Amino acid sequence: MGLQSLRRIGKIGMAAFGLIAAATLGIGSTSAEAAESCQWGTCGPHAGAVVKCNAVGNTNPANTMSVQAPDISAVPVYRPGYAGGPTNVQWVAYRATLLRYDGISFVKTAYPEQPWVSFSVSDSAGFIGYDIPYWELHQNQWTRSTTGGRTFFTNLPAGAYQVSIEYYWFADPEDGLRDGYDVLPSQSNDYPTVTSPYGEARPGYCAYSTDPGNATWTFGG
């Protein structure tokens, strides 16, 4: 599901959430937003994701990478009459793509395309004060995520891997915000690898010396 399809389909229609957001923020006239730089459009602050190389649960297949939903914040918006500074709630999305080291650089693999994952965030590191579920885009339909917003790459052949992450901010016409898009370098992510029951390493990528079917340390999600 490409970016153009995502832009065409739009965000999840959640009227109840819209009412909550309006009541919480006192939506009315707004002033210019304090946007973050990105590839195009209007973007909020964002950071790399945590990509766990082998700590994704005690029943996971070997050679599995787990990508947690990255920290994405709404575009801060200044609201006249509100003395607390910029504030906003906005729908965002991310998509993870698997890269493999080819001896020269990390390049895109033939691993099946993963869905866009969408969720609602505030302008404070994705936190809006109550639980909002994650949604995945499959066949032009938004469906509830069953993985807590995580993306998995399983049963990977031996090799070294990183993950490229795309970020998207849905347009918010009421606040005068157009949509926005960015991609951070794959090395911006954190790649923790459990090396024993007592420690872990962060080599900057996930590496598997053998093909799937061999035991790996697996603790937590």
Q: Is the residue at 214 inside a domain?
A: no
User: Residue 126: its pLDDT value, please?
Assistant: 45
| β 89-101/65-67 pair status | unpaired
Q: Is the residue at 221 inside a domain?
A: no
Inter-residue contact 89 to 24 (CB < 8 Å):
yes
124 burial (CB, 10 Å; 0-12 / 13-18 / 19+) is: middle
User: Residue 162: its pLDDT value, please?
Assistant: 96
User: Residue 2: its pLDDT value, please?
Assistant: 73
One-letter amino acid of 18: G
User: Residue 3: its pLDDT value, please?
Assistant: 73
pLDDT, tens digit only, all 221 positions of the chain = 577 767 776 766 543 333 233 333 333 434 444 557 899 998 999 999 999 887 544 445 678 899 999 999 998 887 766 555 557 888 999 999 999 999 999 999 999 999 999 999 987 644 444 566 899 999 889 999 999 999 999 989 999 999 999 999 999 887 788 899 999 999 999 998 776 656 677 889 998 888 775 444 333 33
**54-86, pLDDT tens digit by residue?**
754 444 567 889 999 999 999 888 776 655 555
Q: Is the residue at 217 inside a domain?
A: no
Start-end of H helices in the chain = 3-9, 15-25
Give 65's DSSP letter.
E
User: Residue 170: its pLDDT value, please?
Assistant: 93
Q: Is the residue at 97 inside a domain?
A: yes
Q: Is the residue at 220 inside a domain?
A: no
One-letter amino acid of 53: C
Q: What is the total count of domains within the chain?
A: 1
Q: Is the residue at 16 inside a domain?
A: yes
Domain with 111, as residue range(s), is: 3-208
User: Residue 124: its pLDDT value, please?
Assistant: 66
For residues 139 and 210, what is the distance between their CA atoms, to the nearest angstrom? 34
Q: Is the residue at 197 inside a domain?
A: yes
User: Residue 165: its pLDDT value, please?
Assistant: 96
User: Residue 175: its pLDDT value, please?
Assistant: 77
Q: Is the residue at 164 inside a domain?
A: yes
